[in-house]
Structure 1
């Protein structure tokens, strides 16, 4: 299949979601200052994200500060029909989503070999930057804002788990949780969202610290579907519990200020879950793992409940982990405390 044929097919397969805009490549080229390095926001395995400025009404590029700031995700490598299908799936699914805790997809560009997605811009960047990069731009999150972020993430998960296609994000981690100017958290980076039957274990990679043990024990996931019942609903339930585990790791990062995996530490303390799990249920010792930078900002009861919730999320047996609705319910109680 030629690129032109693929592009033509892609245009016909893109659902006409309300408010989803089609951008010309030259517009996004100008909006991002020709994808200038100074406009770069981040880089993933297959894509690079740039900051740009557009007029949402006319879909034209504007001068900095003269329009709406957007995040333009440009696919670096486009060389297969499968890539085209995954790109289409992301547009067709997230083009219909309008939830306060999921980053909004504004539009796309499909022109020749170019595949780009235009998302809303999140001014405070990723959760990982605020937890692990301290400086004038990335300020340390307060206890209240950490719980607010955790609650926002839980609400986003609860919503996604009830949608018809029920996507699974294999790159669920703190660097893919974005924060707006009011410290509202939004789930992002669904470039690896796949239908359950198409999950590819090669995409796990360095994110293994966030991956549930049962997923890893099945040969990095390639036998998950074979090990489970053939009924897709039950397979999805299994994967949802894996995602709850990932949330638990993020919650531990929020409580401790430490990375889920830190290669700069000695091998026996690199994995956060392995390090802290033995003391999460200890009434006194769990306080030793709390981030010193938020000392005095939380009550004992609130911290205790948060630690116990994280412990439930990273339970070895998937059936013991709470669902996303329970996460929301418990985090709302902790927020009240």
Structure 2
């Protein structure tokens, strides 16, 4: 990249970093700054030391314990609040691609970071290349599905002949079917979850992954529904749930086109 163009690029990135660094919310991880080494750039965030949500869902890493239902619900709500905050700013921020491997945990926080990944990207984005706030809603619905089943979305998609057109049907037959729900929930939960509330989370996931953008809920609506589920959740909180917050880190700011 020519020197002048690279300097202009650095200026643009620094402007973005300055903007994002000023955002403050309990569910946003703090962006500390921009680093540069020769022609390489890197963003500096707060350190999170408990690995990724991906590790905890799929059991990788030393000393990683399966997440309880209460903890999963808390993570869902925190991540939803982070997205809702970004979507309701005066200059709305599109997160672009939420997924478990980009949700990082420490003792009391959950943070997310995104880039585009097949399976989490909304159909309207794959078809048109245009991003909308509702594209984030789709990705969030996929994360809910993974947290309920313990299955990676790519593994679910491999079982489908038409990934995006039949994913909704798979969810309906696997999680919204009371007779089959238990066998399709994450076995690491060991049946320790309220079936009625898990069903309600599955219903939210289904609404989020609808291909019709207009019928998808907003993240504000998702937060409201999840908080009602949490209020109805009578199970005692486990040690990880106490003090847990979810925080979202946003790297790319894009104008909202829909």
Change (3 A) 1:135 1:178: closer
8 Å CA contact 1:305, 1:334 repeated in 2: yes
Consecutive unaligned residues of structure 1, counting only runs of 5 or more, are 10-80, 193-203, 225-235
Q: Does 1:241 align with 2:134?
A: yes
Q: Which residue of 1 aligns with 2:238?
A: none
Q: 1:4: Cα distance to partner?
A: 7.2
Selected match of 2:113 from 164, 188, 200:
188
Distance 1:147 1:178, change over 3 A: same
Match of 2:148 among 255, 271, 281: 255
Aligned to 1:304: 199
1:268 pairs, out of 151, 160, 183, with: 160
The alpha-carbon distance between structure 1 residues 164 and 110, as it changes in their structure 2 partners (threshold 3 A), is: farther
Tell me the CA shift for residue 137 of structure 1. 3.3
2:97 aligned with 1:171: yes
| Equivalence for 1:208 | 118
Contact 1:177–1:188 (CA under 8 A) maintained in structure 2: yes
Q: Does the 8 Å contact 1:102/1:188 carry over to 2?
A: no
The answer to whether the Cα contact below 8 Å between 1:3 and 1:112 also exists between their aligned partners in 2 is: no
Alignment of 1:319-334 (within 5 A): 319-334=214-229
Residue 298 of structure 1, CA deviation: 1.2
- Larger Rg belongs to: 1
SS of match in other structure, 1:281 = coil
Q: Residue 113 of structure 1 corresponds to which residue in structure 2?
A: 39
Query: 1:302 deviation in Å?
Result: 1.1
Q: 1:276 to 1:137 in 2, by over 3 A?
A: farther
Find runs of 4+ consecutive structure 1 residues off by over 6 angstroms. Answer: none
- Give the Cα separation in 2 of the matches to 1:250 and 1:180: 19
The alignment's C-alpha RMSD in Å is: 2.8
2:172 counterpart residue number: 278
Gaps of 5+ in 2: 234-258
Are the structure 2 counterparts of residues 116 and 135 from structure 1 closer, same or farther at C-alpha, using a change threshold of 3 Å?
Answer: closer
Aligned residues: 229
Q: Please state which structure has a larger fraction of its residues in strand.
A: 1
Q: CA deviation at 1:181?
A: 1.0
> Do the aligned residues in 1 keep the contact of 2:53 with 2:105 (CA within 8 Å)?
yes
Q: Does the C-alpha gap of structure 1 residues 133 and 295 become closer, same or farther in structure 2, counting only changes over 3 Å? A: closer
